[in-house]
Structure 1
């Protein structure tokens, strides 16, 4: 008996690959074109900062919280942060409640690496009393709708929420007791991290895959960038990527990241 799901997958892949030969995609974009981006900030009133990102039909919400904590022994003068990504059953039929799925764990790690390696957060400024008290930042991402490319949408959501974050001011008395004040100060960011994920379908490469493209892709690679550097990379999928193709992807990622920054800046009205 035929496996119709495998057959449907093969037909879908063939149709998409045929379009890519002429630099066209099923949704009308070219290979190097991102979907429309919409960013709304301050959407979670209980968080210190938040954002809602819509990349095409893909939607992610991000909230930033913070608490006083003890620094790690090997970095007594630095604050810390962590990234969590959770998939909601609202995202699509393949998602369920329960422990984090492998995809969610990978997206959290990739987003963490983009932020960490870009040195977007000045961890030393999150230290209140060296060796004793720091701010610990929690960047919590939740998917609302999966139409492909959670990786880049998550990076945009995390940055936008951090830019929207205002931490409580503190007062330290002579005995080292910390008082948390009602006033808040915007979190200072040192760089503008953006990731670009490139997908391989047969011998074709495209960015910002929609869900149909993502499901049939042979491989993908995500590069995290700042305004001046490539800071991180993560490959997924079973197929390899040739070295000359990788160099072209790197160059293209830098170019597209710059264009994305312009779109994000426009959405967030950054001076």
Structure 2
């Protein structure tokens, strides 16, 4: 099954023409990024970062392992990146593909190879025991610029994570429980982020934080790994060739972006720490409750419609009773038009939303049971065999059956065996088609 991500020519032309006019599809400026939101889980080191519609979940865990023989005095940092069809339908389950492998390598170079974590502080006994930090990254929704969103979630989860406190007595290592001893934060040297830029018209147009559609249509993408100290950690380019001036401009923008992201993440981590100290509810469930409380509820208001008049044409219908010979006729007389003031009330439900009228109890009449049998017309469907009883109602010419209306005289008549005898059932019940004496 072909699972390719295809962009139509109409979408491609529309996006490029919009960018050439100095605009973007989502209404942002060329150097404007989407809003960033962070939500921390109940457990330490769990974070969901959202960059517009792109969402990434990161979980940081640690365990005691044997350090590498080449570096016996350092711990280990493992970055695991996963893509699934949950993020986008064009991703295959169990396979990263070229796009996933590219992002995974970028995150490893930005987080692990930049030495943002003090690996020596993770060592307990040289050559014997050291902490191994594992960072699991799962993309929840892909709406463009996954690399930057994943780097934001990774740094936020590392700042939020804690490792258990450890006591070393000779050759014995005691790992204390979090309830008995205060956990220790992970020591970090700096906070790098991957900032992406999209190029169009051979580098003439540069967009910050491209969306999924903008990434597909772009002539080239430049990813800059920078921190708040104005240091470049990673520089990755794919697509068209870029000039020196463009690369320098992107690096300066990435440094400013990294500084702003560091401030945002530290503020959110501080808020979570204060909430845990005060005993307030934390985690994803608490965040959902906060979102529910913060929803703006607009009370419905009534508009005054007394000044509005509505002219309604009323047509009176007079019906004469039927004559005894079923030759009654209906006579309709046009009634006089009357002006009726409208009492309709319009209720405002919210911004740009209104409703006419309110619901209430049902005004439908309840059908009465026990209808008389004499009021029900009896109909018999039979084939066209030239019968004379009743009035035949002509049906469609293509049908072979006709509907015959029977009168009361037909049921009371007595004659041949084929006639209906209503009193026969009460006098003597018949057996049916078989003989009275079968033997």
Helix, strand or coil for the counterpart of 1:75? coil
Name the structure 2 match of 1:225: 226
Name the structure 2 match of 1:80: 76
Report if aligned partners of 2:224, 2:250 keep a CA contact under 8 Å in 1: no
Give the ranges of 4+ consecutive aligned residues of structure 1 lying more than 6 Å apart after TM superposition.
none
Structure 1 CA distance, aligned partners of 2:149 and 2:268?
14
Tell me whether 1:248 sits opposite 2:244 in the alignment: no
Question: TM-score, structure 2 length as denominator?
Answer: 0.56
Aligned counterparts, 1:1-271, within 5 A? 9-43=8-42, 45=43, 48-174=44-170, 176-183=171-178, 184-202=183-201, 203-228=204-229, 229-236=231-238, 238-269=239-270
Structure 1 CA distance, aligned partners of 2:147 and 2:214?
14
Q: Can you give the 5+ residue segments of structure 2 that lack an aligned partner in the other structure?
A: 274-439
**1:171-200, Cα deviation, whole Å (9 max, x unpaired):** 2222x2222210322222221222211111
Higher relative contact order (CA 8 A, sep 6+): 1
Helix, strand or coil for the counterpart of 2:177? strand
Of stretches 144-153 and 249-258 in structure 1, the one that deviates more from structure 2 is: 249-258
Question: Aligned pair in 2 of structure 1 residues 28, 264: CA closer, same or farther (>3 Å)?
Answer: farther
Shift of residue 117, structure 1, vs aligned partner: 4.3
Shift of residue 162, structure 1, vs aligned partner: 0.4
Structure 1 CA distance, aligned partners of 2:107 and 2:243?
25
Name the structure 1 match of 2:306: none
Helix, strand or coil for the counterpart of 1:89? coil
Question: TM-score, structure 1 length as denominator?
Answer: 0.89
Shift of residue 135, structure 1, vs aligned partner: 0.6
Structure 1 CA distance, aligned partners of 2:154 and 2:106?
12
Report if aligned partners of 1:117, 1:232 keep a CA contact under 8 Å in 2: no
Structure 1 CA distance, aligned partners of 2:19 and 2:95?
37
Helix, strand or coil for the counterpart of 1:199? strand
Report if aligned partners of 1:198, 1:207 keep a CA contact under 8 Å in 2: yes
Count of paired positions? 261
Cα RMSD of the aligned pairs, angstroms, is 2.0
Report if aligned partners of 2:60, 2:136 keep a CA contact under 8 Å in 1: yes
Shift of residue 226, structure 1, vs aligned partner: 1.6
The structure having more radius of gyration, on CA atoms, is 2
Q: Can you give the 5+ residue segments of structure 1 that lack an aligned partner in the other structure?
A: none
Structure 2 CA distance, aligned partners of 1:61 and 1:269?
20
Report if aligned partners of 1:218, 1:239 keep a CA contact under 8 Å in 2: yes
Structure 2 CA distance, aligned partners of 1:232 and 1:90?
28
Structure having the larger proportion of residues in strand: 1
**1:174-231, Cα deviation, whole Å (9 max, x unpaired):** 2x22222103222222212222111112231111111111111121111111222111
Report if aligned partners of 1:224, 1:231 keep a CA contact under 8 Å in 2: yes
Structure 1 CA distance, aligned partners of 2:74 and 2:226?
23
Report if aligned partners of 2:83, 2:95 keep a CA contact under 8 Å in 1: no
Report if aligned partners of 1:194, 1:261 keep a CA contact under 8 Å in 2: no
Structure 2 CA distance, aligned partners of 1:95 and 1:232?
26
Name the structure 1 match of 2:322: none
Structure 1 CA distance, aligned partners of 2:265 and 2:109?
20
Helix, strand or coil for the counterpart of 1:85? strand
Structure 1 CA distance, aligned partners of 2:208 and 2:259?
14
